[in-house]
Every structure is written in C-alpha cells, then in structure tokens.
Amino acid sequence: MTGMDLEEEALAFASLDIKNRKTTKVKSKKKNNKRQEIIPYTHCLSCNTAVSDAFCPNCGQKNDDMRRSLFALIADTLGGIFSFESRMWKTFGALIFKPGKIARQYADGARTRYSSPIRTYLVVSILFFTFMSVSNTHFISFEVSPKDKAQTQSQLATDIPDIVDTEENSEDLAKEEIDDIVISIGRTGADNQASLNFTDFELQVKFFTQDKEIYKLTDEELNNFVRPNTRNSNTALDLNLGFDQSEKIIRKVLSNPKSFNSTVNTWLPRAMFLMVPFAMLLGWFFNSGPKALLIDHLIHAIYLQSALFLGILITISASQLLSGLGSALGLFSFMSIYFMLSIKHMFKRGWIKTVWTTLMGGFLYWFILFMIMAAIVTYALTATALEI
C-alpha cells in the first residue's frame, strides 16, 4: 500500500470519526433536553438528596413539583381518562369472551395489558349498582295482579271438583266454598286477622324488572285482596296482628317496592364482596399446586365476580325481550358454562377434573349465594313491613 493510499484512508477514518462524534453529541443533547423535561430538579424537594433519576433514591418521592398550567392539567387528565377507558374496555371484552385468560396472564406477571382485578371489580361494581339505581331496576319484585276470568274458573275446577262435578251443590254452597279458599300470613287465629285472597289474585316473583313494569293494585283491588278473616278456617293463616296492622304491612310491601329494593341494594354488594374469599377458598380446595396458589385463586375469584356483574347487566338488557325468570335462568346457565371454561383456562387441568370442580364448586357457590339472597330478601321484607 502506497503512502498516498494510507493518507487517504486516514483522512476517511478521521472524517467518519468526526461524523460519529457529532451524531453522538446531538443525540446526547436531545437526551439531556428530554431528561431536563422529566427531571427538573437536581435535589429532592422533600429530603434534599441529590437526584439523578425520576424518583428520589432516599425517600422515593417523584422528582416533580406537579405544577401544571390549566391546559396541561386538562391534557394530562384527558389522556389518563382515555388511556384508562381503552384498557378497561379491552379488559371487559376479554373478561366476557375469553374466560380465565386475564386472570392467568395477571397471575403470571403480565400486569399492564389489562386492568388489575381490584380496579376491574370496583369499576364494574360502581357501574352495576349505579345502573340499577338510575334505571329503577329491581333485583327481585313481588307482583300481585287480578286473575282473568278463565284462569279463575280453571283454578276453581281444580281446587273444588265437588262443586263442578256434583249437581247437588247449590250456588250458595259454591260461593261458601270459594270464600274458604283463602291463604293468609301467620297461623290459624282470631276473627280479626287479615287474609289474602289468592282465588281472585295471583302472586308472581319477578327478576330484573323496572318499577314501571310492576302492576300496581288499585285501592279497590287491594281491599279485595286483603280482607278480614271472618271465620276460623283450617286453610286460613294469620299474623297474630289486627286487621288494620296486617293490611298496613301488606300494603307497604306491595306498594313500595323501592323501599324493599333499597334494602336489597344496600346488602347485596356486601354479600357479593364476602363471596370473593369464599370462592377463593372453594377454588383452592378443589385445585391446588404450583400454578394454583391461594393468590392465584384470589385473582381468579375477583375476575369471576366482575364477570358475574357484567353478566347481570347483560341479563337486564335481555330481560326487555325475554321474561325475567327466563333471563335469570339464562344467566345461571351462562355463568355455569363460563365458570367451567374459566377454570379450564386458568389452571390448565384436564376436562374431567375441570367438570368435576365446576359441578361441585359451582353447586356450593350457587347454593351459598342463594341462601344469602334468601336471607337478604327476608330481611328486606321485614324491614319494609316495619316501616309503618
């Protein structure tokens, strides 16, 4: 290689070195400018320790005085809201259509793709109970409505065959027998007890109905439904209360469903929250292992509870097309299948053990939940009746 070639190579190398230095300098300058925007202070504002990062190494405070202009504050707030909503909607979609996926990923350490279980549960609970309150939707309601004439005659033909089949029975005897078919509240009592006329009226238990959909008895119908028990019949039961007192209690329960559901709305969130640790222990009892620790079952239980609330919201929407009872049965069937698929994807067990866990664990879960709901309904009826 000649001297000229060496000189040219040296110049080319020097030129490349200078270019790299300039590029590095520009990148470093940009990096420093960005760092200066993120870290405006060299010492912690709380403990005065030297800070070279986003957080103080001594006390952990963020190296930011949080002072913002109004427009910057609005921009940060909107950015946080849209980011939160985007992640939450993504969580809702995966929670409904991919049972067990979010819980498994979160338990395995993927914590940023979806919302955390606690945040998801709180958001879904707030949305659920706010919707129930604003829409005046009742979890459960008792509707008393008059029967139509054909239905009444059909029931009479079933309940009093002697009157229908025997020609010797006079019209007065039939009327006397009809008046005796009365169901009242309590045990056989005195003549001044109230009785309920289920011969001409029917009682229906409805789920997920709005206040406007519940039939309201007129004063005349209510007086016909609740009337004094004037005979000591073996089929008549009483409250051990006077007629006036009994009528007030029944009228209160039937005419004020909001008071009843207000009590249900108060206690149901507490009961559902208590079902979370129960579901955790129930799952841990049937499934345990390196991939099924107690914390894994807690995460799974919280997401399951959130899915149940979302399922109820969907059921309420479907109840506009289907009957309340049909919607409730649909919810039960959907959650049973969802529970099985969620266990399968969460704990990666075989189908036999998954089905066994679903049957036994699901039965115990729904049984306990049903008993709690029955206790809440009983308490709500009692509390409503005593508000007289």
Highest mean pLDDT among 27-41, 188-202, 266-280: 266-280
Q: What is the pLDDT of residues 65-92, one digit of tens each?
A: 777 777 777 776 666 655 566 778 888 8
Closest CA to 342 of 290, 305, 293: 305
- Phi, psi torsion values for 60, nearest 5 degrees: 85, 5
Give me the chain's average pLDDT, please: 71
Average pLDDT value for residue range 341-365: 88
Tell me the pairing of strands 226-229 and 193-196: antiparallel
Question: How many residues does the structure list for the chain?
Answer: 388
Q: Give the pTM.
A: 0.61
Distant-in-sequence, close-in-space partners of 200: CB < 8 Å, separation ≥ 6? 146, 147, 152, 224, 225
Burial class for 164, CB neighbours closer than 10 Å (0-12, 13-18, 19+): middle
Choose from 184-193, 225-234, 259-268 the range with maximum mean pLDDT. 259-268
What per-residue confidence (pLDDT) applies to 16?
A: 42
Query: Is the pLDDT assigned to residue 163 strictly greater than 50?
Result: no
Q: What is the pLDDT of residues 35-63, one digit of tens each?
A: 444 456 788 888 888 888 888 888 888 88
pLDDT tens for each residue of 213-261: 666 767 777 767 766 554 444 434 444 445 555 566 666 766 666 677 7
pLDDT tens figures, 98-147: 888 888 988 888 878 888 888 888 888 888 888 877 777 777 777 777 87
Output 231-234 pairs: Cβ under 8 A, ≥24 positions apart.
231/180, 231/191, 232/188, 232/189, 232/190, 232/191, 233/180, 233/182, 233/188, 234/188
pLDDT band at 176 (very low <50, low <70, confident <90, very high): low
Token pair of 123 as six digits: 């958001």
Structure tokens at 13: 């190398």
Where helices occur in the chain by DSSP H, the ranges are 3-38, 70-97, 101-107, 117-134, 149-159, 161-165, 171-180, 219-225, 243-255, 257-286, 294-318, 324-347, 351-385
pLDDT tops 60 at residue 154: no
Task: Give the C-alpha separation, 372 to 325, whole Å.
Answer: 19
Q: Please give the residue that has the higher pLDDT: either 154 or 380.
A: 380
pLDDT at position 138 is 72
Q: Which of 17-31, 184-198, 326-340 has the lowest mean pLDDT?
A: 17-31
Mean pLDDT of 309-328: 74
Amino acid identity of residue 11, one-letter, is: L
Contacts of residue 212, Cβ cutoff 8 Å, sequence gap at least 6: 136
Helices 117-134 & 257-286 angle (0-180, nearest 10): 160
Mean pLDDT of the 293-319 span: 85
**Higher-confidence position of 102 and 194:** 102
Radius of gyration (Cα) for the chain, nearest Å? 35
Mean pLDDT of 189-203: 60
